[in-house]
Chain A
Amino acid sequence: SQQGEEDPQALSIQEGENATMNCSYKTSINNLQWYRQNSGRGLVHLILIRSNEREKHSGRLRVTLDTSKKSSSLLITASRAADTASYFCATVTSGGSYIPTFGRGTSLIVHP
């Protein structure tokens, strides 16, 4: 069963705009990870945020975590056509097997 659920399911924007996608989860987490999947390819790890962190940056990526609301957001600034992909959040729950559980993903299309 999915622990994390991304929202929206699909997002279409123009190049240069910012893209924001959200992930909500149900039980306490140890960490939350974001992955990208280009069409027909495997997943690539983007960023990890731990339960005691509130915000992390990596290049044009900004991830926030609100444990009180059990939610996270991924912001991609100044998006490019090459950012077109599906984005998945994966949660690692506390006290479990410590294997990430993936959501259904957000499909992002960036129009040139």
Chain B
Amino acid sequence: NAGVTQTPKFQVLKTGQSMTLQCAQDMNHNSMYWYRQDPGMGLRLIYYSASEGTTDKGEVPNGYNVSRLNKREFSLRLESAAPSQTSVYFCASSEFQGTETQYFGPGTRLLVL
């Protein structure tokens, strides 16, 4: 089992460019999450998907969109990147929303110039 995988590992964008961060899990989990991690801020929830076909906003959704493509895959899109979106992005999954353990991917480091 690969667990939670994320691509790309690292990306540099110019302001205004768009990109999609990909996330996939092979644990048959129902719920998936996108977080961003900034220095001194801990992890903040961007969007989550409690189950296939549903998505909901988290604490910091502005500037992002998500797609739950199927049960395995949950993507995060930046339509027009801004320097404030420079961060490390983590995808996570859990069996159900609110169940005990979240499993995290290795992260995508994004630099917006």
Question: A88–B42 contact, CB under 8 A?
Answer: yes
User: What residues of B have a CB within 8 angstroms of the CB of A92 in the complex?
Assistant: 98
Kindly supply a per-residue 1/0 record for chain B positions 50-67, scoring 1 wherever the CB is within 8 Å of any chain A CB and 0 otherwise: 000000101100000000
Question: B98–A98 contact, CB under 8 A?
Answer: yes
Question: B102–A45 contact, CB under 8 A?
Answer: yes
Q: Given the known A-B contacts A43-B104, A45-B101, are A103 and B42 also in contact in the complex, defined by CB atoms under 8 Å?
A: yes
User: What residues of B have a CB within 8 angstroms of the CB of A99 in the complex?
Assistant: 33, 45, 48, 58, 97-98
Question: A104–B97 contact, CB under 8 A?
Answer: no
Question: B104–A104 contact, CB under 8 A?
Answer: no
Number of B residues whose C-beta is below 8 Å from A? 25
Kindly supply a per-residue 1/0 record for chain A positions 81-112, scoring 1 wherever the CB is within 8 Å of any chain B CB and 0 otherwise: 00000001000100001111111110000000
Of B33, B44, B101, the residue contacting A48 (CB under 8 A) is B101
Question: B90–A43 contact, CB under 8 A?
Answer: yes
Question: A69 near B: Cβ within 8 Å?
Answer: no
Question: B90–A42 contact, CB under 8 A?
Answer: yes
Whole-angstrom distance between the Cβ of B109 and the nearest chain A Cβ? 9
| Contacts A42-B104, A43-B102, A97-B56 supplied; 12 other A-B pairs, CB < 8 Å | A1-B59, A2-B42, A41-B106, A42-B92, A42-B105, A45-B100, A88-B43, A97-B98, A98-B97, A98-B98, A102-B44, A104-B42
What are 17 A-to-B residue pairs whose CB atoms are below 8 Å?
A: A1-B59, A42-B90, A42-B104, A42-B106, A43-B90, A43-B92, A43-B102, A45-B100, A45-B103, A48-B101, A98-B98, A99-B98, A100-B102, A102-B42, A102-B44, A104-B40, A105-B42
